[in-house]
Structure 1
Amino acid sequence: MRLKSRLRPAQAACVVLLFACSFSGVWMQCSAQTKEISGISPGNASADANGSEVEISEMPLNSPPFPASDWSYGGSPAIGAPDGDSCPLLKQLGVQEGRSHIYGWFAMGVDATTSGKSTYPVSYSIYANRLELNQAVLNFERIPDTVQSNKFDWGYHVMALYGTDYRFTTSEGYFSQQLYQKNRQYGFDPMLAYVDLYLPMKKGMNIRIGRFMSMPGIESQPSANNYSMTHSLAYTAAPSTETGAVASMKLTKQWIVQLGITAGHDVAPWTEDARASALACLDYSTYSHRDNMYLCASGINDGRYGHDNVQHYDATWYHRFNTKWHIASEAWYMYQLDVPNVAGNVANPVPTKIGANGAYCANGQLTCTAPAYALVSYINRQISPKLFAGFRFDILNDKRGQRTGIPGKYTENTIYITQYLSSTLMLRPELRFDHSWDGRGYDNGTARNQFFFGVDLIYKF
């Protein structure tokens, strides 16, 4: 498939900036962005005199090349992990670095696909055969000191995102008219805005208040925090952010419990779709850190139709075979009640809300329950300190089409590579095949199959 060669101003500016930054000779190491999910710090696996691995490592993985060195949980900084990040950007600007960090990244990608219009439900690269600026991100962050257990501390995180990816992070009430009214290709999203309050209780307790990422799952919105360029079908169909408060308490070295209340998935508290919703998660790691289980129930309320008002139940399992091989698997079930029928088989159908899909209900039903199921599994192999490769298998059963817009079962298989070209530059090619089993789910409802080759380049500063 021939790629479009003409670049928009935003795309051309991104290419020039990436080139200039990549070869400026100022290699700036700043991995604080992954602290949002799991608290990155260098891997520290050890070996005995015979070279055999010894289970004394606190961190199960090496980062880089993997996105994180510990198993992930959301809604809190990594309790008990020190803030060891350094952001030379401040030094380059002549500002003495303290507890606060300023950092960001540019991510741009290009794809070649058998679809001619849209690659959806592939995400985030939905524009077929195009070069796009996916993310231009700036973060302001202070991480509370969660290592000590004798004093109160605090932190904050503000993240501003611009690019094509905004359509997947947008929440109703946060500049959402860009998407829901104007359907702009590029947009802005204040994706994160919260404060962290750390209390020295048990092994540490953190209270997060504001807008934060949805807590369950392997993947996350920031480009560099993921194994691959594109996201799984399971991630695409799941909620993105929450606004509310969540308390995370580390009971022991192995157990963390989390409880919270939010305005619901992907809605601001001041919108008409906001409703009080419960959030509860439990995180367990084995003593050796080879295995981790993370169970979450989020957005729990009456479950009736609203903007992304799914009742979401999620389970994630990580397992490390050794320092080179590990797997990450996730399964979820979600549903909404009283979803309006959009199948065209009823008179006087109930209107849908802007930004909230209807469901393909049985003949004669005005509304129905819309369930969905998903399973995704990653297997990853570290090849060198700057390179890893992996394979992802993914299945989504969107029984009423409420999550994707077209009902049925979807699968995808992806082979991906992440190569660190330097401490601040990442290259991620991938090859992917998608199939919709019950109908034409790809290329705007015209194809069952989709082959996709893509590559993105991420520059971190």
Structure 2
Amino acid sequence: MFSYDPFTETGIQATIMLNPQWTIEFALDAGNDMNIGTNSSRLTGQAFVRYVAKNNNNSLWLGFNELGRGTYENSHDNLNHVAGVWGHKFSNSVHMMTEAYYEWERDAALGGSASDGPVRYGAGGGQGTIIPGISGATGFVNYFNIQTSPKDYLCIRNDYLRDMNGWRTGFQTSYISHTLGFVHHFANWLTFRPEIRYDYNLDNDVTPYDLGTKKNQFVATMDMIVRF
């Protein structure tokens, strides 16, 4: 689901801790994945509230990640996006995070923002046919993290995305993925993260993967994070 929600907002943000349990956050930015001053940037607001239990075993983070005009313009999405995250600590070595979102846009393009060049590995890629009215998508993800040593942990991730109009991916269907990841900290500044994932959709007559030829796929990836 994280492939089809906003990645980056550029603007100004204020985070205010009212007390150890409650925090509020407000922001103004140029819209999802847009820099200030471009022809597709639009003034967009953000507002969140966070609650942390006194025992630190539960937390909630709820609000609007993007709220603005919400209309597709200049081959670019300017979507609205409401999200919530629940965090739960089972023990010092077992944690869970669950997130849900709903995003919507007026007069969206099939497949979302236009790509610079052909789509090679997945669905979407706009600019497709304009879909009149409101298009929406719903996503859920659950992370289950298990620490196996002071420098290692396993991550089990389960995703769901419902693309109600084909706006986000180019296909009107529901997607599910299951991921098993491993994280190793070589040092405080170096992290290694390999993972394997299985993706599929729930409609037998839809083939959104491998340039529209398959209904499922396996993916193996890895990356390194260098902190400085």
- TM-score w.r.t. the length of structure 2 is 0.85
Structure 1 residue aligned with 2:64 = 297
Deviation string, structure 1 residues 89-124 (Cα, Å, up to 9, x no partner): xxxxxxxxxxxxxxxxxxxxxxxxxxxxxxxxxxxx
1:296, distance to aligned residue in structure 2 (A): 2.1
Deviation string, structure 1 residues 355-401 (Cα, Å, up to 9, x no partner): 5835667xxxx623210000000111111101111211100111222
The 3-state SS of whatever aligns with 1:292 is: strand
Greater relative contact order (Cα 8 A, min sep 6): structure 1 or 2?
A: 1
Structure 1 residue aligned with 2:48 = 281
Q: Which of residues 443, 448, 457 is equivalent to 2:210?
A: 443
- Relative to structure 1, the CA distance from residue 354 to residue 291 in structure 2 (aligned partners, 3 Å threshold; closer, same or farther) is same
Report which of the two has the higher share of strand. 2
Q: Is the 8 A contact 1:360 1:400 kept in 2?
A: no
1:444, distance to aligned residue in structure 2 (A): 1.7
Q: Is the 8 A contact 1:317 1:329 kept in 2?
A: yes
1:311, distance to aligned residue in structure 2 (A): 0.7
Deviation string, structure 1 residues 145-177 (Cα, Å, up to 9, x no partner): xxxxxxxxxxxxxxxxxxxxxxxxxxxxxxxxx
Aligned counterparts, 1:57-456, within 5 A: 234-306=1-73, 307-340=76-109, 354-355=114-115, 357-358=126-127, 367-438=132-203, 439-456=206-223
- Relative to structure 1, the CA distance from residue 272 to residue 456 in structure 2 (aligned partners, 3 Å threshold; closer, same or farther) is closer
Q: Which runs of 5+ in 1 are unaligned?
A: 1-233, 343-351
What CA distance in whole angstroms lies between the structure 2 residues aligned with 1:275 and 1:258? Answer: 20
- Relative to structure 1, the CA distance from residue 341 to residue 331 in structure 2 (aligned partners, 3 Å threshold; closer, same or farther) is closer
Deviation string, structure 1 residues 174-231 (Cα, Å, up to 9, x no partner): xxxxxxxxxxxxxxxxxxxxxxxxxxxxxxxxxxxxxxxxxxxxxxxxxxxxxxxxxx
Q: Which runs of 5+ in 2 are unaligned?
A: 116-124
Q: Is the 8 A contact 2:77 2:108 kept in 1?
A: no
What CA distance in whole angstroms lies between the structure 1 residues aligned with 2:30 and 2:225? Answer: 33
Matched positions, count:
215
Q: Is the 8 A contact 1:294 1:317 kept in 2?
A: yes
What CA distance in whole angstroms lies between the structure 2 residues aligned with 1:423 and 1:282? Answer: 30
- Relative to structure 1, the CA distance from residue 353 to residue 391 in structure 2 (aligned partners, 3 Å threshold; closer, same or farther) is closer
- Relative to structure 1, the CA distance from residue 326 to residue 405 in structure 2 (aligned partners, 3 Å threshold; closer, same or farther) is same
- Relative to structure 1, the CA distance from residue 297 to residue 360 in structure 2 (aligned partners, 3 Å threshold; closer, same or farther) is same
Structure 1 residue aligned with 2:122 = none
Q: Which amino acid aligns with 2:103?
A: M
1:300, distance to aligned residue in structure 2 (A): 1.1
What CA distance in whole angstroms lies between the structure 2 residues aligned with 1:441 and 1:433? Answer: 14
Deviation string, structure 1 residues 394-418 (Cα, Å, up to 9, x no partner): 0011122222233311110011111
Deviation string, structure 1 residues 23-51 (Cα, Å, up to 9, x no partner): xxxxxxxxxxxxxxxxxxxxxxxxxxxxx
What CA distance in whole angstroms lies between the structure 1 residues aligned with 2:140 and 2:113? Answer: 28
1:259, distance to aligned residue in structure 2 (A): 1.7
Q: Is the 8 A contact 1:243 1:269 kept in 2?
A: yes
- Relative to structure 1, the CA distance from residue 427 to residue 354 in structure 2 (aligned partners, 3 Å threshold; closer, same or farther) is closer
- Relative to structure 1, the CA distance from residue 372 to residue 358 in structure 2 (aligned partners, 3 Å threshold; closer, same or farther) is farther
- Relative to structure 1, the CA distance from residue 260 to residue 457 in structure 2 (aligned partners, 3 Å threshold; closer, same or farther) is closer
CA RMSD of aligned residues (A): 2.2
Percentage of identical aligned residues: 31
Q: Which amino acid aligns with 2:23?
A: I
- TM-score w.r.t. the length of structure 1 is 0.44
Q: Is the 8 A contact 2:46 2:67 kept in 1?
A: yes
What CA distance in whole angstroms lies between the structure 1 residues aligned with 2:138 and 2:216? Answer: 20
Q: Is the 8 A contact 1:373 1:396 kept in 2?
A: yes
Q: Which amino acid aligns with 1:367?
A: P
Q: Is the 8 A contact 2:51 2:60 kept in 1?
A: yes
Report which of the two has the higher share of helix. 1
What CA distance in whole angstroms lies between the structure 2 residues aligned with 1:359 and 1:296? Answer: 30
